[in-house]
Amino acid sequence: MQRVGNELNAEAHLSAPIKIAIVDDEASMRRALARLLKSAGIEAFTFSSAREFFDDPIHQQVDCAVTDMRMPGFDGLELQEQLSRTLPHLSLVFITGHGDIQGSVKAMKGGAVDFLEKPVDGKTLLPAIRRAAERSRALKASHKERMALERRYADVTPREREVFALVTSGLPNKQIAADLGVSERTIKVHRARVMEKMGAKSLADLVRKAERLGAWSADYLKTASAAR
User: Residue 115 falls within a domain, yes or no?
Assistant: yes
User: Residue 20 falls within a domain, yes or no?
Assistant: yes
Query: Over the stretch 204-215, which tens digit does the pLDDT of each residue have?
Result: 999 989 988 874
Q: What is the pTM of this model?
A: 0.63
* Same domain, yes or no: 119 and 8: yes
* Same domain, yes or no: 105 and 211: no
* Same domain, yes or no: 47 and 160: no
Q: Give yes or no for a contact between 197 and 189, defined as CB atoms under 8 angstroms apart.
A: no
Q: Name every residue whose Cβ is closer than 8 Å to that of residue 162 and which is 6 or more positions away in sequence.
A: 180, 223, 224, 227
Domain count, the chain: 2
d(CA 212, CA 99): 40
Task: Report the pLDDT value the prediction gives residue 73, as an integer from 0 to 100.
Answer: 77
Q: Which burial class, exposed, middle or buried, applies to 139 when counting CB atoms under 10 A from its CB (0-12, 13-18, 19+)?
A: middle
A 10 A CB-CB count for 86 gives 11
Query: Over the stretch 112-127, which tens digit does the pLDDT of each residue have?
Result: 777 788 788 888 899 9
* Same domain, yes or no: 128 and 166: no
> Containing domain of residue 111, as a range?
2-143
User: Residue 70 falls within a domain, yes or no?
Assistant: yes
Tens-of-pLDDT digits for all 228 residues of the chain? 544 443 333 334 456 789 999 999 899 999 999 999 999 999 999 999 988 998 999 999 999 999 888 887 777 778 888 888 888 888 888 888 766 655 565 656 556 777 788 788 888 899 999 999 998 998 888 888 888 888 999 999 999 999 999 999 999 999 999 999 999 999 999 999 999 999 999 999 999 899 888 744 434 444 444 444
Q: Give yes or no for a contact between 190 and 159, defined as CB atoms under 8 angstroms apart.
A: yes
Query: Over the stretch 46-61, which tens digit does the pLDDT of each residue have?
Result: 999 988 998 999 999 9
Q: What is the CATH number of the domain that holds 110?
A: 3.40.50.2300
* Same domain, yes or no: 197 and 133: no
